[in-house]
Amino acid sequence: NLSYPSTTAAFLSKLAHPQRSMLVARQQGVLIGYGYFGQQSMPELPYDGEIVELYIRPESIGQGVGKKLVYAMMEAMAAGGL
């Protein structure tokens, strides 16, 4: 069972990672999803970037939010040379 403070700390620590980025999806000012991505963590794989996490609030699934986040993360990685 995860407590709110521990999950908040873990989430905030992601924002400080120097080789990763996060994009968020909002609807009417409410966070409905996020994507966490950046430099590949396994150098033996044949690509430079990776999507680490994708989260969509359950009530927002099926609205294309995940698809938009994936495309946006891919574009951001390509623009950053990954």
pLDDT number for residue 36: 93
pLDDT number for residue 14: 82
Of 52, 18, 48, residue with least CA distance to 34: 52
d(CA 74, CA 57): 21
d(CA 82, CA 64): 24
pLDDT number for residue 61: 95
The reported pTM is: 0.83
pLDDT number for residue 1: 42
Per-residue pLDDT of the chain (82 residues; tens, 9 = 90+): 444 545 778 878 888 888 899 999 999 999 999 999 999 989 898 989 999 999 999 999 999 999 999 999 999 999 999 8
- CA dist 78 to 28, 47, 59, 63, 75, Å? 29, 11, 30, 25, 5
Give backbone dihedrals phi and psi of 44, rounded to 5 degrees, phi first: -75, -10
